[in-house]
Structure 1
Amino acid sequence: MSERSGFMEKYGALLGVITLLMVLLSFFTVVSRNLFNVVFIPVQELAVYCHATALMLGMVYAWHHDKHVRVDVFYQGYTDTTKNRVNFWGTMLLMLPMMGFIIWSCFEYVINAWLRLEGSGETGGLPLMFLFKSLLVLMPLTLIAYVLTQWLRSTPKANQSEGK
């Protein structure tokens, strides 16, 4: 296992812990509401935050394992060379511009949340909405960083320097 792959597996394990925490918090919320008629807003919000974190930051993990969503009506019949070309051009012409657009369109929204240290809109909610909104910028940044580092590592110049 390479160092890069080891990091991604640790990253995936962290996402698994976050997902497990989300399930446990959701279970606690359902039990407390239905058996005891008690609602804990911070616990509910934390479950939502865990869900969003696992989803948004899990995209790079899915990309790493080639398990991201792909419309493969034609793709499955392509040769490996053609698949590589489709992946490269799809990434360059579709994914990277879309991630750039997401950053551009959400950046001011996230900055404003940080400037106000925005909290929950719910009484008694968590004062962490600014962190929650940061996922809107973190998700595309992690995908762009991952794709660009993979691309740079796969270039012939990078492969030659590793051999030295």
Structure 2
Amino acid sequence: MLVLANAIDQMNRAVASVIRWLALIMVLVQFCIVIGRYVFGFNSIAAQESVLYMHAALFMLGAGFTLLVDKHVRVDVFYAKVSHVARRRIDIFGHLFLLIPSMTALLYWSWPSVRNSWKILEGPISVGGIEAVFLLKSLIPAFCILILLQSLALLVHLFHEKSAA
């Protein structure tokens, strides 16, 4: 199980190492949009939507890595002040009773929309936009799966840490 958990960690690291470049590309595209609009009087809805797509991909696909490196949003009213054992218990509870069920529910309830979007190859958000809303919606199940896998890997690490102690 530990080997599988480490493989999931590596997968999320690999995804993060690829999508981190979207931040730079997104800034450059946005810069070109602003220059095009205010200097040359040129506007492109597709270019504007590409920034939206990159922004969504950056956050949705990077969430698993964020969870891996423990940089996610945490409500740590008590977490920072408790012992390591209590933190581990809070983490296990959070994964088993909050994160995994919520990601499973999100995956279940979003899947029909994603499936229908692929069925009709859902078109652009705006006239002249990118004709690939189905790809944008596909980020939802990808997000859920990456988070679910990383959560399971973290649980394996937490239980392995307990048995090693």
Q: TM-score range by the shorter chain?
A: 0.7 to 0.9
Alignment root-mean-square deviation, CA: 2.2
Change (3 A) 1:132 1:143: same
Change (3 A) 1:153 1:78: closer
2:59 is equivalent to residue 55 of structure 1 = yes
Distance in 2, Cα, partners of 1:23 & 1:90: 35
Is contact 2:123–2:132 with CA below 8 Å preserved after alignment?
A: yes
Query: What SS does the corresponding residue of 1:11 show, helix, strand or coil?
Result: helix
Of the candidates 140, 144, 153, which is equivalent to residue 144 of structure 2? 140
Matches within 5 A, 1:8-157: 8-152=12-156, 155=159
Under a length normalisation based on structure 2, what TM-score does the superposition of the two structures give?
Answer: 0.85
Amino acid at match of 1:127: E
Query: What SS does the corresponding residue of 1:14 show, helix, strand or coil?
Result: helix
> Sequence identity, in percent?
29
Structure 1 stretches of at least 4 aligned residues deviating more than 6 Å after TM superposition: none
Change (3 A) 1:152 1:77: closer
Aligned length: 157
Unmatched runs of 5 consecutive residues or more in structure 2: none
Under a length normalisation based on structure 1, what TM-score does the superposition of the two structures give?
Answer: 0.86
Unmatched runs of 5 consecutive residues or more in structure 1: none
Is contact 2:61–2:146 with CA below 8 Å preserved after alignment?
A: yes
Distance in 2, Cα, partners of 1:71 & 1:90: 11
Query: What SS does the corresponding residue of 1:36 show, helix, strand or coil?
Result: coil
Distance in 1, Cα, partners of 2:75 & 2:129: 40
